[in-house]
Structure 1
Amino acid sequence: MCYEHDISDTISHRDTLPPPSVLRHVVDVHCHPTDSEITVKTMDNLPIIIGAMSTLQADQGLVRDLATAFPNKVVPSFGYHPWFTHWIALAPYESKEAHYRRIFKDADEHPEAFQKLLEHAPEPVTLQTVLEDVRQNLMDFPSAMLGEVGFDRAFRVSYDYFSSPGELSPFTTPFEHQLAILEAQLDLAAELGRNISMHSVKSQMATVELLDRMADRHGERWMKISIDIHSCGLSPQTWLSIEKRHPNVFLSLSTVINSRSPNHRALIAACSSRRILVESDSHKIDDSTQHTWDMVLIVAEVKGWLVESSWDEVVDESQQGVVRRLESNWREFVQGNHVGPNKLSKRTTRERQ
């Protein structure tokens, strides 16, 4: 049989990729290729499919262009990331300064920092404008997802994201502001029937409550779409609670983020074999394939799945390798139309292997 049985040996040689016949079935469900320079040659040579995320006003068009140029390799995602939600006004505002003072209630406690932030901050855009932009992009690309959207309790706002992203201000975007923008985007995804790539950091209970709320609010419409919690950092216990109550929620993992903590292996072990996806979360397209493949190998190791070294041999379902299993999960994610938890039959032991 055409498999690599010694997974640990495979992982120790991560600079070695499988043949194109295997890689063409690998999907990097979440990456940021437009954050760096992309050449036609690089895209022509890209052996996998990528889910290209947008995050702020400046890169929505870049993702559009990439998906238009390479429709067979790029699944575009349009949305606004929580790190940039302070640039979005929930309602009309009197002035730029008034908007940012409304966001950062502690501006008077850090007058110099606020003035520095104000100097570099863009003119705010209204939530209505954001939603109109996302709606148009999603309608223009029938296979597009909503993403990257979410919430994040850990980040601090950069003074000038474009020139000095590492220089952070003392300010944080209020969670309630992030949540209002996130929910408005999720409502749009439910309306249009689009899958979602979601960011969640230091927000475990908020994530559980949000998913419950969206399921109650949208009912069958919500069950028609799939949600991926990307670079998932939830505890295994929290994930199992979500998995049981929300059949339309998947998780994806990346070595860039998740390998920082040993928790990701426990999460893989706990997760249903049908809910796992892989990603690179890379900001350089040249790194996407290798980073995604690294995570494929980790999933295979933890789950005890075989790793395909060829795509030619036909095998029965019980002997399917990790790439086939992950590809099947991706298909299920894309197709949506999930069965509600009250209609789910008891999972078999095989499904969790």
Structure 2
Amino acid sequence: MGRCTSHFDRERIPERVVHARGFVADGEFRGFAVKFRTEDGNWSNTPESMHMLTWLFSPRGIPANYRTQDGFGVNTYRMVNAAGEGVLVKYHWKSQQGIESLTEEQAAAIQARELGHASKDLYEAIERGECPRWELHVQMTLNRNVSNVHNENEQIAFGTGVLVDGLDFSDDKMLVGRTFSYSDTQRCRVGPNYLQLPINAPREDVQVNTNQDGGQMSYGVDNRAGNPHINFEPSSVAGLDQADESYREYRPFVSGQVMRAPIERQNNYGQAGERFRTMPQWERDDLVKNLVNLLGQCDKHIQQEMVWHFSQCDDAYGRRVAEGLGIADHA
């Protein structure tokens, strides 16, 4: 009884602190792994956030389910060709099921009776054989639900620093910070040998040499070229071969002072205004209503400043929010 109780006390691992709640399903996607997560943001008086706020507080900010939402990569990466030439890329996944969203009232009604409805929807769709698909020039299909939630969901670990030849980091400061933080979070949350777990390990036909040994829950054995006592390279005794150097990494040329400075040619309001004008009327109505409801809880000087920002995006955008707040004569 004591053994069973002790095991029960330790059957869960801590919640992820850098990832929002999501859902896990296996699929086919030519070697890519994708994790969807919803995004949220804080009120800000900086103009750079207007486009994000316009999306977030419109119905697009509450997807009806995982299947009917597009996916957008947070970070900017770099693709590098065989000649070492690079281009900056951001990944967008386009849902082949179409886009469906919820109003705040619809979401509240669902949440009142069903927790985790999006996870349930995706699970049941795959069980019915209605495998959802997203397209990134190469199609992605989710076609198998996990058989053990703890082993294949709770223990799964992603990191922005795990790249293959042809992909490289950009100068995105957030990506640089996450490259260390994500993997370090997994070492803290799951354990130092989290990469040895089957859900995180490479395919069985891929040989992995990390030169690492020991630590809690260690069971994987690295190939060490015939001598398990050599954990460094190069070595004249044994050890691992050095990596193939035929791949040409991206080598940027930088001239002049490197500094942190504002962008001279700014366009902080153009995208938000374009998005507002291309929304269906019901989405514009819902966006304005959501903003009015939340800004109505703020002090008047904050309301006026936000209305000014919305007006820079589109005159009608700012006017409608101001009218809803009852400050149209003061905006």
The reply to whether TM is greater than 0.5 is no
More strand by share: 1
TM-score bucket (shorter structure): under 0.3
Find the structure with the greater CA-based Rg. 2
TM-score w.r.t. the length of structure 2 is 0.28
Higher RCO (Cα < 8 Å, 6 or more apart): 1
TM-score w.r.t. the length of structure 1 is 0.27
More helix by share: 1
